[in-house]
């Protein structure tokens, strides 16, 4: 089965083709830069830009330079149905369902976070079930026990800002631009963690929930304390990155101990972070736990993970009914099982 995937939940238009026999064929992404001057995503501008970019990218991804697949060879359309920005989701849903209708093939709305947590399945070395998933993106930070596709138990999640959001907001305070994660990672290379000391939030008490808004406040206080020289910015960035990574690693280690799971899947935009990948890799070695990461370009929002998750569900016979729905809020635990 060959599936076209469409991701428009936030500020990336991601389009891809996944084939259950041939694997991941091609993906294209357009990351909206128009939010740069606002320091954050402006929902209405995001929706309008998805309208401009989605169909041209679909044409391109199906063209000879990419998947080389005609519409007639596509067996299903998967689009992100939630969670995300309502207007942005509606663009992908409307286009995805219209294409499926015109091509007389089924469509399916995919949960964005399910896409992320299955994204390591796009790589040659795929994790077997069950596994622990650490999802850390711009909108979510969570640990989940994954028994099978659609069988997710949330072990802990952020009670306020997501890790990626904290990177973005702190980068803005430091004058480092958007998106903040890569900017802070870059700036941290010239800095020294530990020159200032930021908290490792909620690690001193039991439980697997996260809280990152205090780190943003610590960053704001450090910015206000002394004039912002380049070396001061680098030291703040380094300590901020270290604090986020320490916190994620401590909670991941705790969740592994609690569940006894032997595989760890790390996904979402923040999992592109080199320090996080290295530290979790070392944690895995220490405990005999195998770690799986998507390649960095598939960590952030993309169409390939949506095509994959949709393909698995379409193969199991699931598909959209006539009702049209985008779900800005949607829990991972509300999904139907696949083949269960
Ligand atoms: P997503 O929501 O999955 O598309 O991921 C986007 C989020 O990932 C944004 O908040 C980025 O700042 C963050 N991000 C991307 N690359 C990195 C990185 N190298 N280090 C830390 N955070 C990152
Ligand atoms: Mg995402």
Instruction: State whether 154 and 227 are in the same domain.
Output: yes
Our count of domains for the chain comes to: 2
Instruction: State whether 191 and 68 are in the same domain.
Output: no
CB 84 within 8 A of CB 116: no
Residue to mutate (ligand 1; options 269, 277, 298; most atoms within 8 A of CB): 269
Domain that holds residue 75: 2-118+298-334
Residue to mutate (ligand 1; options 300, 301, 302, 304; most atoms within 8 A of CB): 300
Nearest alpha carbon, ligand 1 atom 5: 269
Residue 329 lies in a domain: yes
Residue 339 lies in a domain: no
**What CATH number is associated with residue 195?**
3.30.420.40
Residue 211 lies in a domain: yes
Instruction: State whether 45 and 72 are in the same domain.
Output: yes
- Tens digits of residue pLDDT in 218-227: 999 999 999 9
- The residue with tokens 């139907």 is 336
Residue 14 has pLDDT above 70, yes or no: yes
Please tell me if the CB atom of residue 138 comes closer than 6 angstroms to any atom of ligand 1: yes
- Tens digits of residue pLDDT in 231-282: 999 999 999 999 999 999 999 999 999 999 999 999 999 999 999 999 999 9
- Tens digits of residue pLDDT in 287-318: 999 999 999 999 999 999 999 999 999 999 99
The dihedral through the CA atoms of 60, 35, 83, 299 has a sign that is positive
CA distance 152 to 133: 9
Q: At what angle do helices 213-225 and 230-259 cross, to 10 degrees?
A: 160
Instruction: State whether 179 and 65 are in the same domain.
Output: no
Residue 328 lies in a domain: yes
pTM of the model: 0.95
The DSSP code for 158 is B
Instruction: State whether 148 and 266 are in the same domain.
Output: yes
Residue 208 lies in a domain: yes
Report the chain's C-alpha Rg in angstroms: 20
């Amino acid at each position: 089965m060959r599936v076209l995937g469409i991701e428009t939940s936030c500020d990336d238009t991601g389009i891809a083709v996944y084939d259950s026999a041939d694997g991941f064929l091609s993906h294209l992404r357009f990351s909206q830069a128009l939010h740069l001057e606002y320091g954050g995503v402006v929902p209405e501008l995001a929706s309008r830009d998805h309208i401009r970019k989605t169909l041209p990218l679909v044409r391109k991804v199906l063209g000879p330079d990419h998947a080389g697949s005609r519409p007639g060879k596509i067996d299903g359309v998967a689009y992100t149905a939630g969670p995300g920005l309502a207007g942005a989701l509606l663009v992908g849903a409307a286009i995805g369902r219209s294409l499926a209708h015109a091509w007389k093939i089924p469509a399916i709305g995919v949960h964005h976070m399910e896409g992320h947590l299955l994204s390591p399945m796009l790589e040659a070395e795929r994790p077997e079930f069950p596994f622990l998933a650490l999802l850390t993106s711009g909108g979510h930070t969570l640990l989940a026990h994954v028994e099978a596709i659609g069988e997710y138990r949330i072990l802990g999640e952020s009670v306020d800002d997501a890790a990626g959001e904290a990177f973005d907001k702190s980068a803005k305070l430091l004058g480092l631009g958007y998106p903040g994660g890569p900017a802070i990672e870059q700036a941290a290379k010239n800095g020294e963690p530990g020159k200032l000391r930021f908290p490792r939030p909620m690690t001193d008490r039991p439980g697997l929930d996260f809280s990152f808004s205090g780190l943003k406040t610590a960053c704001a206080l450090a910015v206000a304390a002394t004039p912002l020289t380049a070396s001061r910015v680098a030291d703040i960035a380094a300590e901020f990155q270290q604090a986020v990574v320490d916190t994620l690693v401590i909670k991941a280690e705790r969740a592994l101990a609690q569940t006894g799971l032997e595989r760890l899947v790390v996904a979402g935009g923040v999992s592109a972070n080199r320090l996080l990948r290295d530290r979790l890799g070392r944690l895995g070695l220490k405990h005999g736990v195998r770690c799986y990461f998507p390649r960095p370009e598939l960590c952030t929002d993309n169409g390939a993970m949506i095509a994959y998750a949709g393909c698995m569900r379409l193969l199991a016979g699931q598909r959209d009914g006539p009702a049209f729905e985008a779900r800005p809020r949607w829990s991972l635990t509300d999904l139907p099982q696949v083949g269960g």
